[in-house]
Amino acid sequence: MGEPLNNYSAVVESIRVMTGLPFQLSLKRITVSTVGIIHAINKLHNDLPGLNLAVSLHAPAQDIRCQIMPAARAFPLQKLMASLQEYQRNSQQKILIEYIMLDGVNDEEQHAHQLGKLLETFQVVVNLIPFNSIGMLSQFKPTTEQKVSAFQKILRGTYNIRTTIRKQMGQDISGACGQLVVNVPDKSLGNAEPLTDIEDLFI
């Protein structure tokens, strides 16, 4: 849980332990996911060449990112994309883009086209992540399967971007991604404020 690149030194040290003796894991089998901590991304390739990078983008525009991810206010989208471009130029590796689908927020066709244009010069894999409902604890709602599929078709067909859809598992027992952490009966919420940061629900 949490943002790994906010604990940069410990993450780098931990990965070096995992890739050294006696474990000897390959860096190609390790992925670090971040909301986009620019100054840390700028150091990552030099410190851990070969590591896989995943970025929780979740929106194709800065205003939407700030709405669903308050941390994005500190890392403007334009500067983040410039940092990723430099990272990719140095690493020559594909970047995984994580994109959680939220009904009426970032899942419309216009958002798919915005995302496609934002990423068309990159070598990326986009992973579309259906949002798992947690009742009254969140203001966000799941996107329909039809809209997720249409979003994927635009990225693939119009922009030739490799796009996958994360398989959903465990919803029937409230054990899907995000549900185990925050799922409680609605009647027990009292005056609790709904969660507004998607990263609190997603990671």
| pLDDT per position as a tens digit, 169-200 | 444 434 344 444 454 554 444 555 555 666 66
Model pTM?
Answer: 0.84
| pLDDT per position as a tens digit, 24-67 | 999 999 999 999 999 999 999 999 999 999 999 999 999 999 99
Average pLDDT over residues 98-116: 97
Give the DSSP H or E segment for 164.
strand 162-165
Average pLDDT over residues 115-131: 97
Angle at 162 between CA 69 and CA 60, to 5 degrees: 25
Cα–Cα distance for residue pair 47/44, rounded to 1 Å: 5
Domain count, the chain: 1
For residue 195, the model assigns a pLDDT of 59
Residue 35 lies in domain: 4-182
Residue 75: inside a domain: yes
**CATH number, domain containing residue 128:** 3.20.20.70
For residue 88, the model assigns a pLDDT of 97
Residue 129: inside a domain: yes
Residue 90: inside a domain: yes
Residue 83: inside a domain: yes
Percent of the chain whose pLDDT exceeds 70: 79
